[in-house]
A and B are shown apart, each in its own frame.
Chain A
Amino acid sequence: MAHVVLKDLVKTYGSFKAVNDVSLTVNDGEFVALVGPSGCGKTTTLNLVAGLIPITSGEIVIGDRVVNDLDPKDRDIAMVFQNYALYPQKSVYKNLAFPLQMRKLPREAIDKKVRDAARVLDMTELLERKPRELSGGQQQRVALGRALVRDPAVFLMDEPLSNLDAKLRVQMRSEIKRFHQDLKATIIYVTHDQLEAVTMADRMAVMNGGYLQQYDSPAQVFAHPVNMFVASFVGSPAMSLVPLQASTANGNTVLTGAEGWQFELSPHNAQKVASAKTKKVVLGARHSTIKLHKSAVPASVPAKAYTVEPTGDVTFVQALLSGAIVNISVSPNVAVAPDEQIWLEFDQERMHLFDGETEMALKVN
Chain B
Amino acid sequence: MSMIVATAPRDQTRRRMHVDGWRWAGRIFLVFMLLYTALPMIWMLITSIKSGFAAMQFPPQWWPDEPTLASYKKLLDPQNSVGRDFLRFFWNSLLVATATTILSVIVAVPAAYAFSRFTFPGRNLLFFAVLLRNMFPAVIFLVPLFILMRAIGLVNTHGSLVLTYLTFGLPLAIWLLKGFYDNIPVQLEQAARIDGATRFQAFILIVMPLSTPGIIATAIYSFIGAWNEYIYAYTFLSKNDQLTLPVGIQRFFSENTTDFPGLMAASFMMSVPVVVLFLVLQRYFVRALTEGAVKH
Contact = CB atoms under 8 A, between A and B. Distances in A.
Interface stretch (B6-14, B32-40, B157-165, B187-195): B187-195
Contact of A78 (B187, B194, B199, B296): B194
A134 B197 CA distance: 25
Interface in A190-230: none
A133 B293 CA distance: 10
A163 B294 CA distance: 10
Nearest to A129: B292
A160 to B, nearest CB: 12
A98 B295 contact: no
A315 to B, nearest CB: 36
Contacts of B199: 71
A85 interface: yes
A81 B191 contact: yes
A131 B292 contact: yes
Given A50-B194, A89-B209, A89-B289, A84 B201 contact: no
A88 B293 contact: yes
A86 B196 contact: no
A130 B193 contact: no
B198 interface: yes
A350 interface: no
A99 interface: yes
Interface in A74-89: 75, 77-79, 81-89
Contact of B290 (A51, A77, A88): A88
Interface string B177-190: 00000000101101
Given A73-B198, A102-B201, A85 B294 contact: yes
B289 A88 contact: yes
Given A73-B198, A81-B187, A86 B193 contact: no
Contact of A71 (B185, B198, B295): B198
Given A85-B187, A87-B206, A102 B295 contact: no
Contact of B293 (A47, A72, A131, A146): A131
Interface in A57-95: 71-73, 75, 77-79, 81-89
Contacts of B195: 73, 78, 98-99, 102, 146, 150
A132 interface: yes
Contact of A83 (B196, B197, B291, B294): B294
A85 B209 contact: no
A230 B295 CA distance: 31
Contact of B294 (A50, A78, A84, A130): A84
Given A87-B188, A130-B292, A52 B209 contact: no
A85 B291 contact: no
Given A85-B185, A89-B289, A73 B295 contact: no
B193 A73 contact: yes
Interface string A313-334: 0000000000000000000000
A85 B191 contact: yes
A158 to B, nearest CB: 9
Contacts of B191: 79, 81, 85, 87, 146
A235 interface: no
A72 B187 contact: no
Contacts, number: 86
A75 B194 CA distance: 8
A53 to B, nearest CB: 10
A256 interface: no
B92 to A, nearest CB: 38
Nearest to B199: A71
Interface string A116-154: 000000000000001111101001000000100010000
Interface string A40-55: 0000000100111000
B295 A84 contact: yes
A103 B185 CA distance: 24
A50 B193 CA distance: 10
A309 B210 CA distance: 50
Interface string B253-296: 00000000000000000000000000000000000011111111
A146 to B, nearest CB: 7
A131 B198 CA distance: 23
A72 B194 contact: yes
Contacts of B209: 89
Q: Which of A51, A88, A99, A102 is the most central at the interface, judged by chain B CB atoms within 10 Å of its CB?
A: A88
Given A73-B195, A81-B187, A133 B292 contact: yes
Contacts of A84: 294-295
Nearest to B191: A85
A134 to B, nearest CB: 8
Contacts of A89: 209-210, 289
B294 to A, nearest CB: 4
A133 to B, nearest CB: 7
Contacts of A86: 292-294
A216 B289 CA distance: 44
A102 B197 contact: yes
Given A88-B289, A88-B290, A89-B209, A99 B196 contact: yes
Given A85-B188, A86-B293, 19 more contacts: A50-B190, A51-B193, A73-B193, A73-B198, A78-B194, A79-B190, A84-B295, A85-B185, A85-B293, A88-B188, A88-B210, A89-B209, A89-B210, A98-B192, A99-B196, A102-B192, A102-B197, A133-B292, A146-B191
Interface of B: 185, 187-188, 190-199, 201, 206, 209-210, 289-296
18 contacts: A52-B190, A52-B194, A72-B190, A72-B194, A73-B194, A73-B198, A75-B194, A81-B187, A81-B191, A85-B190, A85-B293, A88-B291, A89-B209, A98-B192, A99-B196, A132-B291, A132-B293, A139-B295
Q: 10 closest pairs, A vs B, by CB?
A: A132-B292, A102-B196, A88-B293, A83-B294, A99-B195, A85-B187, A85-B191, A72-B193, A73-B196, A81-B187
